[in-house]
């Protein structure tokens, strides 16, 4: 890894904004708040996307409260947008299989 990073999550091909937003919110939140390893967090997210149960992964109110206000507002707005997407939005392999975790 470069710049001292021990883990990097990268896309294998161009991705749509909703999947990029969801991944960039959920994986770091689990990593920092739940101490879930990044590779496990990403695999869990991918499973939830495949099965259509991903909406339960959005940050809860108590998780948003521990974030700086500006961050919580941005994430809250993004989550509202994501919540209104149909459950089938990420069922396609091209949406959920696009990310890989490198390092650990």
The mean pLDDT value for 38-62 works out to 88
Let me know if residue 15 belongs to a domain: yes
The mean pLDDT value for 53-68 works out to 85
The mean pLDDT value for 50-69 works out to 85
Does residue 3 have a pLDDT over 80? Answer: no
Let me know if residue 2 belongs to a domain: no
Let me know if residue 1 belongs to a domain: no
The total number of structural domains that make up the chain = 1
- pLDDT-derived band at 2 (thresholds 50, 70, 90) equals low
Q: Name the strand (E) or helix (H) holding 17.
A: helix 17-29
- Domain that residue 28 falls in: 7-103
- Which two structure tokens, joined as six digits, stand for 95? 């949406």
- DSSP for 32-100 reads III---HHHHHHHHHHHHHHT-GGGGSPPHHHHHTS-HHHHHHHHHHHHHHHTS-GGGG-SHHHHSSEE
Let me know if residue 43 belongs to a domain: yes
- Which two structure tokens, joined as six digits, stand for 18? 């909703």
Residue identified by tokens 């939005």 is 89
């Amino acid at each position: 890894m470069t710049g001292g990073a021990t883990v990097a999550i990268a896309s294998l091909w161009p991705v749509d904004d909703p999947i990029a937003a969801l991944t960039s919110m959920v994986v770091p939140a689990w990593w920092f708040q739940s101490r879930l390893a990044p590779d496990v967090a990403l695999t869990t997210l991918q499973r939830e996307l495949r099965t259509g149960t991903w909406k339960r992964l959005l940050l809860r109110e108590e998780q948003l409260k521990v974030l700086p206000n500006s961050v919580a507002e941005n994430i809250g707005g993004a989550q509202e947008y994501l919540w209104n997407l149909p459950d089938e939005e990420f069922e396609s392999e091209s949406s959920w299989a696009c990310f890989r975790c490198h390092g650990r």
